[in-house]
Amino acid sequence: MKSTLPLAALLAAAFTGPVASAAELSIPHEIYTLDNGLTVILAPDNDVPIVQVNVWYHVGSAEEVVGRTGFAHLFEHLMFQGSEHNNNDYFQPLQEVGGQVNGTTNLERTNYFEGVPSEYLPLALWAEADRMGYLLPALSQERLDNQKEVVRNERRQRYENRPYGTVWVTLLDNVFPEDHPYNHSTIGEHADLEAATLDDVTAFFKTWYVPNNASIVICGDFDVAEAKQLVELYFAPIPAGAEPTPATIPAVKLTEEKVIRQTEAGAPFQKVWIAWPSPGVYAPGDAELDLLSTTLTDGQSSRLVSELVVKKQIATDVMAYQSSFDGASMFVIEATAAAGHTTDELVAEIDKILKVVKAKGPTVEEVEMGRTAYEVGFYQSLFTVAGKADRLNSYFVNKGRPDALAEDLQRYLDATPESIRATAESTLGTGRVVLHIWPATEAK
């Protein structure tokens, strides 16, 4: 017999047993703090014989200062170069036992994670603790110079020599004021990276890479008592640092439109990005903008895709998204012009559709479709221990507690056509950045 339950409800049932309300959702866990300030979150899940170790340092590009951009991302690289007692390739011993290892940096945090077979939890914890407590004895000028050049090459390859590669850098630089912590991207400037000295990066490490500025999640198939002993053994001896002062992230409101027109030799098509400063993650309006993005560009029947791509065929693609960060975010619409059409045409049509949405809001059906799409992704992220570990650490860093699962989902369940309309009206005004990029062969 065909089920009549919505897909999101079926996924909820798979995760929680009987279909539950958002208020009943949780990831069973225990949280405590070591004497040195390290926050430890344990979330046993014995469904599969793997365990995920997930460490977040509460430092991103927002904590960098003028003349020292790119340091948070540079340290992501340096942390894999070896530490005092693991002074070779960080990846090798973990990958030799079947582990998957990586790290990422964004505006507000740097994280490191490894998934290993359960019996190798001691190895994963030892490796993470050694670089938290004993990286500096292994940090040489040669290693620093090597990774500075690696990061600069990454900037060239992923940003400067790639079509539309500098878009994110340009948007951050123009949406956020010059003195705002989000004004620059994580990749950093060539001059700052080139000028970085061993003393500079040592000071950065001692400020931010301390146990009292970190949180570790252990999620998966492990014994809680054993994990506590291992955490005590490896992490407790690491001394706390001075209490770091995180960046203050003010909300942003642009008062006028900034139009930027650029040509790029490697750009194959005319593209346009429209970006507005928007509410920070978990702030009122953040969930509404996520749902608005699905109304605008999720599927052939969505407002912008239907009008620009399907009916008028003036665009080959269009996408909307809320890029959420702590304190302040960006809502972005990007579109590619079809042959024979211009990005100015696209902006005019987008504005017409936004005017209707701001006046009348989405329909109930559009909101339900967006909510279902979000719920599907939400529950799917909880099907793996890696997804659960990242949720727990994300909630702890952004909400101050790891048990915000139900509260997070409830924001989307509570959104209405009117709340989405009101958020669109208050956010998507004339204060915005419009970035046009055309092929160099075409006049601006």
- Answer yes or no: is pLDDT of 4 > 90: no
Give the model's pLDDT for residue 21.
Answer: 60
Per-residue pLDDT tens digits for 200-221: 999 999 999 999 999 999 999 9
Tell me the helices (H) and strands (E) count for the chain, helix number first. 16, 11
pLDDT at position 6 over 80: no
pLDDT bracket for residue 88 (50, 70, 90) = confident
Q: Is 65 exposed, middle or buried (0-12, 13-18, 19+ CB in 10 A)?
A: exposed
Residue found under tokens 């993650």: 281
Distance CA 436, CA 344 (A): 8
Task: Please check the confidence at residue 2 and state whether its pLDDT lies above 50.
Answer: no
**Alpha-carbon dihedral 235, 237, 241, 247, rounded to 10 degrees:** 10
Q: Residue range 1-27: average pLDDT?
A: 52
Distances from the Cα of 168 to the Cα of 59, 208, 235, 273, 425, angstroms: 20, 25, 37, 10, 24
Lowest mean pLDDT among 32-46, 155-169, 308-322, 430-444: 430-444
> What percentage of the chain reaches a pLDDT higher than 90?
92
User: Is the per-residue pLDDT at 5 higher than 80?
Assistant: no
Task: Please determine, for residue 170, whether its predicted confidence score (pLDDT) is greater than 50.
Answer: yes
Report CA-CA distances (Å) from 69 to 62, 72, 111, 145, 193. 9, 8, 18, 16, 7
pLDDT tens readout for residues 304-359 = 999 999 999 999 999 999 999 999 999 999 999 999 999 999 999 999 999 999 99
Helix axes 286-297, 364-380, angle to 10 degrees: 110
Closest CA to 133 of 187, 214, 69, 217: 214
Question: Which strands make up the sheet holding 271-279, listed edge to edge?
Answer: 258-264, 433-439, 271-279, 328-337, 315-323
Cα–Cα distance for residue pair 235/196, rounded to 1 Å: 29
Find the mean pLDDT for residues 254-267.
Answer: 96
Nearest to 336 by CA among 355, 311, 313: 313
Residue 23 is predicted with a pLDDT of: 66
User: What separation in angstroms does the CA of 270 have from each of 258, 259, 262, 425?
Assistant: 18, 15, 10, 28
pLDDT of residue 119: 98
Amino acid at 380: Q
The Cβ of residue 413 has, within 10 Å, a number of other Cβ atoms equal to 14
Percent of the chain that is helix, strand, coil (3-state, to 5): 45, 20, 35
Mean pLDDT for the stretch of residues 249-256: 96
Residue 17 confidence (pLDDT): 40
Q: What residues contact residue 106 under an 8 Å CB cut-off, 6+ apart? A: 60, 61, 186, 325
CA distance 429 to 431: 5
- Residue 56 token pair: 């977040």
- H/E stretch holding 73 reads helix 71-78
Strand order, beta sheet including 30-33? 30-33, 39-44, 214-220, 50-57, 110-117, 100-105
Q: Please state the φ and ψ torsions of residue 186, each to the nearest 5 degrees.
A: -70, -25
pLDDT exceeds cutoff 50 at 13: no
Residues present in the chain in total:
444
Check residue 20 and give its pLDDT: 47
- Confidence band for 443, pLDDT divided at 50, 70 and 90: low
Q: What is the pLDDT of residues 15-38, one digit of tens each?
A: 444 334 666 799 999 999 999 999
Instruction: Return d(Cα 39, Cα 54) in angstroms, integer.
Output: 12
Residue 157 buriedness (CB in 10 A; 0-12 / 13-18 / 19+): exposed
- Given this model, what pLDDT does residue 175 score? 99
**pLDDT value of position 405:** 96
Question: Could you give the domains of the chain?
Answer: 28-235 (3.30.830.10), 258-439 (3.30.830.10)
Tokens 């123009």 locate to: 174
Give the alpha-carbon dihedral of 304, 305, 310, 313, to 10 degrees: 70
Distances (CA, A) of 141 to 47, 247, 283: 45, 29, 43
With contact defined as beta carbons under 8 Å apart, do 175 and 184 qualify?
no
Task: Write out the two tokens for 326.
Answer: 């702590």
